[in-house]
A and B are shown apart, each in its own frame.
Chain A
Protein backbone atom coordinates (compact mmCIF):
# COMPACT_ATOMS: atom_id res chain seq x y z
CA UNK A 1 0.00 0.00 0.00
CA UNK A 2 1.32 3.45 -0.89
CA UNK A 3 0.36 6.81 0.46
CA UNK A 4 1.53 10.41 0.33
CA UNK A 5 3.34 11.06 3.62
CA UNK A 6 4.09 14.42 5.19
CA UNK A 7 7.67 15.18 6.15
CA UNK A 8 9.58 18.03 7.72
CA UNK A 9 13.30 17.94 7.04
CA UNK A 10 15.83 20.31 8.56
CA UNK A 11 17.75 22.06 5.81
CA UNK A 12 20.61 24.47 6.24
CA UNK A 13 24.17 24.74 7.47
CA UNK A 14 26.00 26.09 10.51
CA UNK A 15 24.96 29.64 9.66
CA UNK A 16 21.22 29.15 9.38
CA UNK A 17 18.57 26.61 8.63
CA UNK A 18 14.93 25.65 9.06
CA UNK A 19 12.48 22.80 8.86
CA UNK A 20 11.19 22.41 5.31
CA UNK A 21 7.90 20.70 4.49
CA UNK A 22 7.72 17.91 1.94
CA UNK A 23 5.10 15.49 0.74
CA UNK A 24 6.47 12.25 -0.62
CA UNK A 25 5.30 8.79 -1.62
CA UNK A 26 5.68 6.07 0.97
CA UNK A 27 5.53 2.41 -0.01
CA UNK A 28 5.06 -0.71 2.04
CA UNK A 29 8.26 -2.03 3.61
CA UNK A 30 10.20 1.21 3.32
CA UNK A 31 12.42 2.86 5.89
CA UNK A 32 12.92 6.58 6.47
CA UNK A 33 16.14 6.55 4.45
CA UNK A 34 14.16 5.34 1.41
CA UNK A 35 11.98 8.41 1.65
CA UNK A 36 14.99 10.70 2.06
CA UNK A 37 16.44 9.18 -1.11
CA UNK A 38 13.11 9.73 -2.89
CA UNK A 39 13.19 13.37 -1.82
CA UNK A 40 16.70 13.65 -3.28
CA UNK A 41 15.57 12.00 -6.51
CA UNK A 42 12.39 13.98 -7.03
CA UNK A 43 12.31 17.25 -5.09
CA UNK A 44 15.57 18.20 -3.38
CA UNK A 45 18.60 16.96 -5.32
CA UNK A 46 20.96 18.92 -3.07
CA UNK A 47 19.61 17.43 0.17
CA UNK A 48 22.68 16.21 2.09
CA UNK A 49 22.52 12.92 3.95
CA UNK A 50 25.33 10.60 5.00
CA UNK A 51 24.62 6.93 4.40
CA UNK A 52 26.38 3.82 3.29
CA UNK A 53 25.23 0.26 4.02
CA UNK A 54 21.47 0.72 4.50
CA UNK A 55 21.61 -2.30 6.77
CA UNK A 56 22.25 -0.83 10.22
CA UNK A 57 25.90 -1.83 10.24
CA UNK A 58 27.93 1.14 9.05
CA UNK A 59 26.63 3.71 11.52
CA UNK A 60 26.52 6.49 8.93
CA UNK A 61 22.90 7.60 8.74
CA UNK A 62 22.42 8.72 12.36
CA UNK A 63 19.84 11.48 12.72
CA UNK A 64 16.81 12.36 14.81
CA UNK A 65 13.36 11.27 13.76
CA UNK A 66 10.49 12.93 15.56
CA UNK A 67 13.01 14.05 18.14
CA UNK A 68 14.45 10.61 18.86
CA UNK A 69 18.01 9.69 17.91
CA UNK A 70 17.80 6.87 15.35
CA UNK A 71 19.39 5.36 12.28
CA UNK A 72 17.49 6.49 9.18
CA UNK A 73 17.95 3.07 7.61
CA UNK A 74 16.59 1.13 10.59
CA UNK A 75 13.48 3.20 11.20
CA UNK A 76 10.58 1.61 9.38
CA UNK A 77 7.88 3.84 7.98
CA UNK A 78 5.16 1.55 9.33
CA UNK A 79 6.01 2.93 12.78
CA UNK A 80 4.06 6.00 11.74
CA UNK A 81 0.46 6.43 10.75
CA UNK A 82 -0.16 7.84 7.24
CA UNK A 83 -1.44 11.12 8.66
CA UNK A 84 1.52 11.58 10.99
CA UNK A 85 4.12 14.20 10.12
CA UNK A 86 7.62 12.75 10.25
CA UNK A 87 10.26 15.26 11.29
CA UNK A 88 13.87 14.52 10.38
CA UNK A 89 16.69 16.59 11.86
CA UNK A 90 20.45 16.20 12.15
CA UNK A 91 22.05 15.10 15.42
CA UNK A 92 21.89 18.07 17.76
CA UNK A 93 25.06 17.50 19.71
CA UNK A 94 27.51 17.89 16.83
CA UNK A 95 28.25 20.82 14.52
CA UNK A 96 26.13 20.66 11.41
CA UNK A 97 27.84 20.61 8.01
CA UNK A 98 24.82 20.62 5.74
CA UNK A 99 21.22 19.44 6.12
CA UNK A 100 21.32 16.04 7.87
CA UNK A 101 25.11 15.72 7.86
CA UNK A 102 27.01 16.57 11.02
CA UNK A 103 30.69 16.80 11.89
CA UNK A 104 31.32 13.91 14.28
CA UNK A 105 35.07 14.45 14.59
CA UNK A 106 34.63 15.11 18.32
CA UNK A 107 34.34 11.35 18.75
CA UNK A 108 37.53 10.60 16.84
CA UNK A 109 39.47 13.15 18.84
CA UNK A 110 38.26 11.49 22.03
CA UNK A 111 39.12 8.05 20.65
CA UNK A 112 42.68 9.13 19.96
CA UNK A 113 43.05 10.32 23.54
CA UNK A 114 42.35 6.85 24.90
CA UNK A 115 45.48 4.69 25.35
CA UNK A 116 45.41 1.81 22.86
CA UNK A 117 45.43 -1.94 23.58
CA UNK A 118 48.73 -3.03 25.10
CA UNK A 119 49.40 -6.76 24.85
CA UNK A 120 52.16 -8.47 26.87
CA UNK A 121 55.53 -7.49 25.50
CA UNK A 122 56.67 -11.11 25.17
CA UNK A 123 53.79 -12.04 22.87
CA UNK A 124 53.97 -11.49 19.15
CA UNK A 125 50.86 -11.08 17.01
CA UNK A 126 49.52 -14.54 16.34
CA UNK A 127 50.57 -15.82 19.74
CA UNK A 128 47.60 -14.41 21.65
CA UNK A 129 45.65 -17.11 23.45
CA UNK A 130 42.48 -16.33 25.40
CA UNK A 131 39.60 -18.33 26.78
CA UNK A 132 36.13 -17.50 25.55
CA UNK A 133 34.73 -16.72 29.01
CA UNK A 134 37.51 -14.18 29.48
CA UNK A 135 36.79 -12.24 26.30
CA UNK A 136 33.00 -12.49 26.02
CA UNK A 137 32.33 -9.37 28.05
CA UNK A 138 34.57 -7.33 25.76
CA UNK A 139 32.97 -8.87 22.69
CA UNK A 140 29.64 -7.24 23.45
CA UNK A 141 31.31 -3.86 23.12
CA UNK A 142 32.87 -4.85 19.80
CA UNK A 143 29.37 -4.79 18.31
CA UNK A 144 29.53 -0.99 18.36
CA UNK A 145 29.05 0.42 14.84
CA UNK A 146 30.13 3.92 15.86
CA UNK A 147 26.90 5.58 14.86
CA UNK A 148 27.46 7.97 17.80
CA UNK A 149 23.77 8.08 18.67
CA UNK A 150 24.79 7.44 22.29
CA UNK A 151 27.16 10.40 22.17
CA UNK A 152 24.43 12.49 20.59
CA UNK A 153 21.76 11.70 23.17
CA UNK A 154 23.99 12.01 26.24
CA UNK A 155 22.80 15.12 28.02
CA UNK A 156 26.26 15.76 29.49
CA UNK A 157 27.35 17.17 26.13
CA UNK A 158 24.03 17.51 24.32
CA UNK A 159 22.78 20.11 26.78
CA UNK A 160 26.14 21.30 28.08
CA UNK A 161 28.55 21.89 25.26
CA UNK A 162 31.07 23.25 27.73
CA UNK A 163 31.64 19.72 29.04
CA UNK A 164 33.05 18.44 25.76
CA UNK A 165 36.72 18.99 26.65
CA UNK A 166 36.40 16.94 29.85
CA UNK A 167 33.90 14.30 28.78
CA UNK A 168 34.55 11.49 26.32
CA UNK A 169 31.06 10.00 26.31
CA UNK A 170 29.48 6.54 26.36
CA UNK A 171 31.04 5.28 23.15
CA UNK A 172 34.49 5.80 24.62
CA UNK A 173 33.46 4.43 28.02
CA UNK A 174 32.61 1.10 26.42
CA UNK A 175 35.98 1.19 24.69
CA UNK A 176 37.67 1.79 28.05
CA UNK A 177 35.67 -1.05 29.62
CA UNK A 178 36.46 -3.33 26.70
CA UNK A 179 40.18 -2.79 27.22
CA UNK A 180 40.05 -2.92 31.02
CA UNK A 181 38.23 -6.27 30.85
CA UNK A 182 40.43 -7.59 28.06
CA UNK A 183 42.42 -10.59 29.32
CA UNK A 184 45.58 -9.60 27.45
CA UNK A 185 45.61 -5.87 28.02
CA UNK A 186 48.47 -5.04 30.36
CA UNK A 187 47.72 -1.43 31.25
CA UNK A 188 46.89 -1.04 34.89
CA UNK A 189 45.69 2.55 34.86
CA UNK A 190 42.50 2.36 32.83
CA UNK A 191 40.25 3.03 35.82
CA UNK A 192 42.21 6.13 36.71
CA UNK A 193 42.20 7.23 33.07
CA UNK A 194 38.43 6.74 32.86
CA UNK A 195 37.89 8.95 35.86
CA UNK A 196 40.55 11.60 35.39
CA UNK A 197 40.85 11.84 31.62
CA UNK A 198 37.52 10.64 30.23
CA UNK A 199 35.21 12.28 32.75
CA UNK A 200 33.42 9.11 33.87
CA UNK A 201 32.09 10.94 36.92
CA UNK A 202 30.01 13.23 34.73
CA UNK A 203 27.76 10.32 33.82
CA UNK A 204 24.70 10.18 36.05
CA UNK A 205 23.63 6.84 34.59
CA UNK A 206 20.30 7.98 33.22
CA UNK A 207 20.71 5.32 30.53
CA UNK A 208 19.77 7.30 27.43
CA UNK A 209 22.84 5.88 25.67
CA UNK A 210 21.51 2.37 26.26
CA UNK A 211 18.03 3.37 25.07
CA UNK A 212 19.20 4.61 21.70
CA UNK A 213 21.89 2.03 20.90
CA UNK A 214 20.86 0.29 17.64
CA UNK A 215 23.10 -2.66 18.52
CA UNK A 216 21.37 -3.04 21.90
CA UNK A 217 24.66 -2.90 23.77
CA UNK A 218 23.95 -2.56 27.48
CA UNK A 219 26.25 0.41 27.69
CA UNK A 220 25.27 1.56 31.16
CA UNK A 221 24.87 -1.76 32.95
CA UNK A 222 27.76 -3.63 31.36
CA UNK A 223 30.32 -0.90 30.76
CA UNK A 224 29.76 2.39 32.54
CA UNK A 225 28.60 1.09 35.91
CA UNK A 226 31.27 -1.66 36.04
CA UNK A 227 33.87 1.01 35.28
CA UNK A 228 32.44 3.25 37.99
CA UNK A 229 32.61 0.31 40.41
CA UNK A 230 36.20 -0.40 39.39
CA UNK A 231 37.06 3.23 40.11
CA UNK A 232 35.42 2.83 43.52
CA UNK A 233 37.59 -0.28 44.05
CA UNK A 234 40.66 1.81 43.49
CA UNK A 235 39.78 5.16 44.98
CA UNK A 236 36.96 4.99 47.48
CA UNK A 237 36.96 1.56 49.08
CA UNK A 238 39.51 1.18 51.90
CA UNK A 239 38.41 -2.42 52.50
CA UNK A 240 39.36 -3.41 48.98
CA UNK A 241 42.59 -1.47 49.27
CA UNK A 242 43.45 -3.19 52.55
CA UNK A 243 42.59 -6.58 51.11
CA UNK A 244 44.95 -6.02 48.22
CA UNK A 245 47.75 -5.01 50.57
CA UNK A 246 47.27 -7.90 52.99
CA UNK A 247 46.83 -10.59 50.38
CA UNK A 248 49.70 -9.13 48.35
CA UNK A 249 47.83 -9.76 45.19
CA UNK A 250 45.68 -7.60 43.06
CA UNK A 251 42.47 -8.94 41.61
CA UNK A 252 41.90 -5.49 40.26
CA UNK A 253 44.98 -5.42 38.12
CA UNK A 254 46.13 -7.63 35.34
CA UNK A 255 47.06 -10.66 37.38
CA UNK A 256 44.76 -13.67 36.92
Chain B
Protein backbone atom coordinates (compact mmCIF):
# COMPACT_ATOMS: atom_id res chain seq x y z
CA UNK B 1 0.00 0.00 0.00
CA UNK B 2 1.34 3.39 -0.91
CA UNK B 3 2.01 5.73 1.98
CA UNK B 4 -0.30 8.77 1.93
CA UNK B 5 1.31 12.04 0.95
CA UNK B 6 -0.09 15.23 2.43
CA UNK B 7 0.02 18.67 0.89
CA UNK B 8 3.25 20.48 1.57
CA UNK B 9 5.12 17.37 2.56
CA UNK B 10 8.18 16.18 0.73
CA UNK B 11 7.33 13.81 -2.06
CA UNK B 12 9.34 11.43 -4.13
CA UNK B 13 11.45 13.30 -6.68
CA UNK B 14 10.06 13.08 -10.18
CA UNK B 15 11.82 11.05 -12.77
CA UNK B 16 14.58 12.89 -14.53
CA UNK B 17 15.52 10.12 -16.87
CA UNK B 18 15.62 11.62 -20.33
CA UNK B 19 15.71 8.20 -21.96
CA UNK B 20 12.20 7.47 -20.69
CA UNK B 21 10.82 9.86 -23.26
CA UNK B 22 9.51 8.94 -26.67
CA UNK B 23 12.40 8.60 -29.09
CA UNK B 24 11.69 11.18 -31.76
CA UNK B 25 14.61 11.95 -34.00
CA UNK B 26 13.42 15.30 -35.31
CA UNK B 27 14.24 18.30 -33.10
CA UNK B 28 10.86 19.74 -33.92
CA UNK B 29 7.96 18.46 -35.95
CA UNK B 30 6.45 21.88 -36.44
CA UNK B 31 5.52 22.40 -40.06
CA UNK B 32 4.53 26.07 -39.86
CA UNK B 33 7.00 28.90 -40.44
CA UNK B 34 7.81 29.28 -36.75
CA UNK B 35 11.05 31.10 -37.51
CA UNK B 36 9.37 34.12 -39.12
CA UNK B 37 8.37 35.87 -35.88
CA UNK B 38 11.77 35.58 -34.15
CA UNK B 39 13.47 36.68 -37.36
CA UNK B 40 11.29 39.77 -37.73
CA UNK B 41 11.73 40.53 -34.03
CA UNK B 42 15.48 40.24 -34.38
CA UNK B 43 15.52 42.61 -37.35
CA UNK B 44 13.26 45.14 -35.60
CA UNK B 45 15.12 45.19 -32.31
CA UNK B 46 18.54 45.19 -33.96
CA UNK B 47 17.53 48.14 -36.15
CA UNK B 48 16.38 50.03 -33.07
CA UNK B 49 19.63 49.35 -31.23
CA UNK B 50 21.72 50.39 -34.23
CA UNK B 51 19.73 53.61 -34.67
CA UNK B 52 20.06 54.35 -30.94
CA UNK B 53 23.81 53.82 -30.99
CA UNK B 54 24.29 55.98 -34.08
CA UNK B 55 22.24 58.78 -32.57
CA UNK B 56 23.90 58.51 -29.16
CA UNK B 57 27.34 58.93 -30.72
CA UNK B 58 26.23 61.58 -33.23
CA UNK B 59 26.07 64.30 -30.57
CA UNK B 60 24.53 66.93 -32.84
CA UNK B 61 21.27 67.87 -34.58
CA UNK B 62 19.10 67.39 -31.54
CA UNK B 63 17.70 70.88 -31.07
CA UNK B 64 15.78 72.84 -33.69
CA UNK B 65 15.69 76.14 -31.86
CA UNK B 66 13.50 78.18 -34.20
CA UNK B 67 10.62 75.70 -33.93
CA UNK B 68 11.42 74.58 -30.35
CA UNK B 69 11.82 70.90 -31.13
CA UNK B 70 14.13 68.70 -29.08
CA UNK B 71 14.94 65.16 -30.12
CA UNK B 72 13.55 62.55 -27.67
CA UNK B 73 16.89 60.72 -27.53
CA UNK B 74 18.56 63.86 -26.13
CA UNK B 75 15.88 64.98 -23.71
CA UNK B 76 16.37 66.13 -21.03
CA UNK B 77 19.69 67.63 -22.10
CA UNK B 78 21.39 67.82 -18.71
CA UNK B 79 25.02 68.50 -19.64
CA UNK B 80 26.74 71.86 -19.84
CA UNK B 81 27.94 70.72 -23.24
CA UNK B 82 24.36 70.80 -24.60
CA UNK B 83 23.75 73.32 -27.38
CA UNK B 84 22.25 76.58 -26.33
CA UNK B 85 18.51 76.45 -25.69
CA UNK B 86 18.22 72.67 -25.67
CA UNK B 87 18.09 72.40 -21.88
CA UNK B 88 14.92 73.45 -20.13
CA UNK B 89 13.59 73.57 -16.57
CA UNK B 90 15.93 70.86 -15.34
CA UNK B 91 18.94 72.99 -16.25
CA UNK B 92 22.43 71.62 -16.86
CA UNK B 93 23.49 69.94 -13.61
CA UNK B 94 26.13 67.75 -15.29
CA UNK B 95 29.42 69.61 -15.88
CA UNK B 96 31.21 69.52 -19.20
CA UNK B 97 33.24 66.34 -19.37
CA UNK B 98 37.04 66.34 -19.89
CA UNK B 99 38.35 65.98 -23.42
CA UNK B 100 39.10 62.28 -23.12
CA UNK B 101 35.41 61.73 -22.40
CA UNK B 102 34.17 64.04 -25.11
CA UNK B 103 32.63 61.09 -26.96
CA UNK B 104 30.07 60.77 -24.15
CA UNK B 105 27.08 62.60 -25.49
CA UNK B 106 24.18 64.07 -23.46
CA UNK B 107 22.03 61.32 -24.98
CA UNK B 108 24.06 58.62 -23.27
CA UNK B 109 23.43 60.26 -19.90
CA UNK B 110 19.66 59.94 -20.19
CA UNK B 111 19.17 56.91 -22.45
CA UNK B 112 20.11 54.65 -19.54
CA UNK B 113 16.61 55.20 -18.14
CA UNK B 114 14.39 54.37 -21.14
CA UNK B 115 17.00 51.86 -22.38
CA UNK B 116 17.08 50.05 -19.06
CA UNK B 117 13.30 50.15 -18.86
CA UNK B 118 12.94 48.43 -22.21
CA UNK B 119 15.83 46.05 -21.62
CA UNK B 120 14.27 44.70 -18.42
CA UNK B 121 10.66 44.91 -19.65
CA UNK B 122 8.80 41.61 -19.44
CA UNK B 123 7.71 41.83 -23.07
CA UNK B 124 11.16 42.67 -24.41
CA UNK B 125 12.65 39.89 -22.33
CA UNK B 126 10.36 37.44 -24.08
CA UNK B 127 11.25 38.86 -27.48
CA UNK B 128 15.02 38.90 -27.13
CA UNK B 129 15.23 35.62 -25.24
CA UNK B 130 13.48 34.11 -28.23
CA UNK B 131 15.01 35.98 -31.14
CA UNK B 132 18.55 36.72 -29.92
CA UNK B 133 19.23 33.97 -27.41
CA UNK B 134 17.09 31.14 -28.86
CA UNK B 135 15.88 30.21 -25.41
CA UNK B 136 13.68 28.98 -26.98
CA UNK B 137 13.33 30.46 -30.50
CA UNK B 138 9.69 29.33 -30.62
CA UNK B 139 7.36 27.09 -28.66
CA UNK B 140 8.15 23.39 -28.93
CA UNK B 141 11.35 24.22 -30.79
CA UNK B 142 14.50 23.19 -28.90
CA UNK B 143 16.36 25.63 -26.72
CA UNK B 144 19.65 26.65 -28.29
CA UNK B 145 21.67 25.93 -25.15
CA UNK B 146 22.87 22.85 -23.36
CA UNK B 147 22.24 24.17 -19.86
CA UNK B 148 19.70 26.61 -18.52
CA UNK B 149 19.34 28.48 -15.25
CA UNK B 150 16.87 31.15 -16.32
CA UNK B 151 16.73 34.26 -14.19
CA UNK B 152 17.91 32.57 -11.03
CA UNK B 153 21.45 33.91 -10.96
CA UNK B 154 23.77 36.67 -12.13
CA UNK B 155 23.45 38.43 -14.53
CA UNK B 156 19.80 37.75 -15.35
CA UNK B 157 18.84 37.99 -11.69
CA UNK B 158 19.16 41.73 -12.24
CA UNK B 159 16.03 41.70 -14.39
CA UNK B 160 14.29 42.16 -11.05
CA UNK B 161 15.29 45.83 -11.01
CA UNK B 162 12.69 46.51 -13.70
CA UNK B 163 10.50 48.49 -11.34
CA UNK B 164 13.26 51.02 -10.67
CA UNK B 165 13.54 51.64 -14.37
CA UNK B 166 9.77 52.01 -14.33
CA UNK B 167 10.12 54.86 -11.87
CA UNK B 168 12.73 56.36 -14.20
CA UNK B 169 10.42 55.87 -17.16
CA UNK B 170 7.75 57.93 -15.39
CA UNK B 171 10.28 60.75 -15.29
CA UNK B 172 11.16 60.30 -18.97
CA UNK B 173 7.50 60.27 -19.97
CA UNK B 174 6.94 63.50 -18.06
CA UNK B 175 9.90 65.15 -19.77
CA UNK B 176 8.76 64.08 -23.25
CA UNK B 177 5.29 65.43 -22.51
CA UNK B 178 6.81 68.72 -21.37
CA UNK B 179 8.86 68.80 -24.58
CA UNK B 180 5.73 68.39 -26.65
CA UNK B 181 4.05 71.33 -24.93
CA UNK B 182 7.25 73.36 -25.23
CA UNK B 183 7.15 72.87 -28.98
CA UNK B 184 3.88 74.78 -29.12
CA UNK B 185 5.83 78.00 -28.95
CA UNK B 186 5.38 79.91 -32.15
CA UNK B 187 8.18 81.02 -34.44
CA UNK B 188 7.24 84.64 -33.88
CA UNK B 189 6.37 84.23 -30.22
CA UNK B 190 3.04 83.19 -28.77
CA UNK B 191 1.54 79.85 -29.66
CA UNK B 192 2.37 77.93 -32.80
CA UNK B 193 1.81 74.48 -34.19
CA UNK B 194 3.81 72.44 -36.62
CA UNK B 195 3.98 68.84 -37.75
CA UNK B 196 6.91 68.37 -35.37
CA UNK B 197 4.70 69.23 -32.38
CA UNK B 198 2.06 66.73 -33.49
CA UNK B 199 4.72 64.05 -33.82
CA UNK B 200 6.05 64.80 -30.34
CA UNK B 201 2.54 64.62 -28.86
CA UNK B 202 1.79 61.31 -30.55
CA UNK B 203 5.12 59.97 -29.35
CA UNK B 204 4.48 61.12 -25.78
CA UNK B 205 1.03 59.50 -25.80
CA UNK B 206 2.45 56.18 -27.03
CA UNK B 207 5.28 56.33 -24.51
CA UNK B 208 2.71 56.79 -21.73
CA UNK B 209 0.58 53.93 -23.02
CA UNK B 210 3.64 51.69 -22.94
CA UNK B 211 4.93 52.94 -19.58
CA UNK B 212 1.63 52.81 -17.70
CA UNK B 213 0.82 49.36 -19.08
CA UNK B 214 4.02 47.98 -17.57
CA UNK B 215 3.69 44.81 -15.47
CA UNK B 216 5.54 46.44 -12.58
CA UNK B 217 3.13 49.37 -12.70
CA UNK B 218 0.25 46.91 -12.63
CA UNK B 219 1.64 45.33 -9.49
CA UNK B 220 2.42 48.62 -7.78
CA UNK B 221 -0.93 50.34 -8.37
CA UNK B 222 -2.98 47.43 -7.09
CA UNK B 223 -1.87 44.00 -8.25
CA UNK B 224 -0.04 43.30 -5.01
CA UNK B 225 -3.22 43.75 -2.95
CA UNK B 226 -5.02 40.80 -1.45
CA UNK B 227 -8.38 42.50 -1.06
CA UNK B 228 -9.46 44.78 -3.89
CA UNK B 229 -12.75 45.43 -2.09
CA UNK B 230 -10.91 47.43 0.59
CA UNK B 231 -9.15 49.63 -1.95
CA UNK B 232 -11.66 50.76 -4.59
CA UNK B 233 -9.43 53.51 -6.04
CA UNK B 234 -6.45 51.22 -6.45
CA UNK B 235 -8.73 48.53 -7.85
CA UNK B 236 -9.98 51.03 -10.43
CA UNK B 237 -6.41 51.99 -11.32
CA UNK B 238 -5.41 48.33 -11.53
CA UNK B 239 -8.28 47.75 -13.95
CA UNK B 240 -7.17 50.62 -16.19
CA UNK B 241 -3.54 49.53 -16.13
CA UNK B 242 -4.65 45.98 -16.89
CA UNK B 243 -6.39 47.21 -20.05
CA UNK B 244 -3.15 48.82 -21.23
CA UNK B 245 -1.16 45.82 -20.06
CA UNK B 246 -3.22 43.51 -22.27
CA UNK B 247 -1.67 45.24 -25.30
CA UNK B 248 1.77 45.78 -23.81
CA UNK B 249 3.52 44.17 -26.76
CA UNK B 250 1.72 46.40 -29.23
CA UNK B 251 2.44 49.52 -27.17
CA UNK B 252 6.09 48.49 -26.89
CA UNK B 253 6.48 48.33 -30.66
CA UNK B 254 4.34 51.40 -31.39
CA UNK B 255 6.26 53.55 -28.92
CA UNK B 256 9.59 52.21 -30.14
CA UNK B 257 8.77 53.14 -33.71
CA UNK B 258 7.31 56.50 -32.70
CA UNK B 259 10.33 57.52 -30.65
CA UNK B 260 12.63 56.70 -33.57
CA UNK B 261 10.44 58.58 -36.04
CA UNK B 262 10.15 61.59 -33.71
CA UNK B 263 13.88 61.64 -33.11
CA UNK B 264 14.67 61.28 -36.81
CA UNK B 265 12.24 64.07 -37.71
CA UNK B 266 13.83 66.48 -35.23
CA UNK B 267 17.28 65.44 -36.43
CA UNK B 268 16.37 66.25 -40.02
CA UNK B 269 14.83 69.59 -39.05
CA UNK B 270 17.78 70.50 -36.83
CA UNK B 271 20.28 69.61 -39.54
CA UNK B 272 18.47 71.74 -42.10
CA UNK B 273 17.65 68.80 -44.35
CA UNK B 274 13.94 69.30 -43.67
CA UNK B 275 11.78 72.27 -42.76
CA UNK B 276 9.15 71.79 -40.12
CA UNK B 277 5.78 72.15 -41.78
CA UNK B 278 3.95 74.82 -39.82
CA UNK B 279 0.19 74.70 -39.48
CA UNK B 280 0.20 78.15 -37.93
CA UNK B 281 2.92 80.41 -36.58
- Interface residues, chain A, CB within 8 Å of chain B? 10, 12, 14, 16-19, 64, 66-69, 84, 87, 89-90, 92-96, 102-103, 105-106, 109-110, 112-116, 131, 133-134, 153, 155-156, 158-165, 181, 183, 199, 201-208, 211-212, 221, 225-226, 228-233, 235-237, 251-256
A192 to B18, alpha carbons, bound, how many Å?
A: 30
Question: How many A-B pairs fall under 8 Å by CB?
Answer: 198
| 8 Å CB contact of A92 from B6, B21, B224 | B21
Q: A66-B29, A206-B130 are in contact. Are A17 and B224 (CB under 8 A)?
A: no
Majority secondary structure, A binding face: mixed
- Point out the residues of chain B lying under 8 angstroms from A206, CB to CB: 126, 129-130, 135-136, 139
Contact A95 B126 (CB under 8 A): no
Closest A residue by C-beta to B9:
A112
Determine if B102 is an interface residue (Cβ-Cβ < 8 Å): no
| Bound form: Cα–Cα A226–B163 in Å | 12
Residue tally, chain B, CB below 8 Å to A: 63
Give CA–CA (A84, B31) in the complex, Å: 10
Q: How far is the CA of A254 from the CA of B17 in the complex (A)?
A: 40
Majority DSSP secondary structure for residues of B touching A: loop
Contact (A256, B19) CB under 8 Å given A67-B30, A112-B5, A165-B13: no
Complexed CA–CA distance, A212 and B141 (Å): 13
- A94-B21, A109-B13 given as contacts; is B219 within 8 A of A233 (CB)? yes
* Contact of A90 (CB < 8 Å), options: B22, B125, B151: B22
Q: Tell me whether A67 and B14 are in contact (CB under 8 A).
A: no
- Chain B residues lying within 8 Å of A251, measured Cβ to Cβ, are 224-226
> Which one of B59-67, B142-150, B263-271 is at the interface?
B142-150
> Of B5, B24, B129, B161, which is within 8 A of A236 by CB?
B161
**CB atoms of B140 and A96 under 8 A apart:** no
With A199-B152, A207-B126 known, 18 other A-B pairs at CB within 8 A are: A64-B29, A64-B140, A92-B24, A94-B21, A102-B22, A131-B227, A153-B140, A155-B136, A162-B147, A181-B226, A183-B227, A202-B150, A202-B151, A202-B152, A206-B126, A206-B139, A226-B223, A236-B161
- Once A95-B17, A113-B8 are accepted as A-B contacts, the answer to whether A252 and B224 lie under 8 Å apart by CB is yes
A to B CB contacts below 8 Å, 22 in the list? A18-B23, A67-B30, A95-B21, A112-B11, A113-B9, A113-B11, A115-B8, A134-B228, A159-B142, A160-B143, A161-B17, A164-B13, A164-B14, A164-B16, A165-B16, A183-B226, A204-B151, A221-B246, A226-B223, A228-B160, A232-B160, A232-B163
B10: Cβ under 8 A from any A Cβ = yes
Contacts of A134 in B (CB 8 A): 226-229
What residues of chain A lie closer than 8 Å to B161, measured between beta carbons? 236
Q: How many angstroms from the CA of A201 to the CA of B156 in the assembled complex?
A: 9
State A64–B26 Cα separation when bound (angstroms). 13
CA distance A204 to B7 in the complex (A): 27
**Considering the chains assembled together, what is the distance between the CA atoms of A207 and B41 in angstroms?**
15
Contact of A237 among B13, B130, B152, B163 (CB under 8 A): B163
The interface centre, meaning the residue of A95, A109, A206 with most chain B CB atoms within 10 A of its CB, is A206
Chain B residues near A211: list those with CB within 8 A.
139
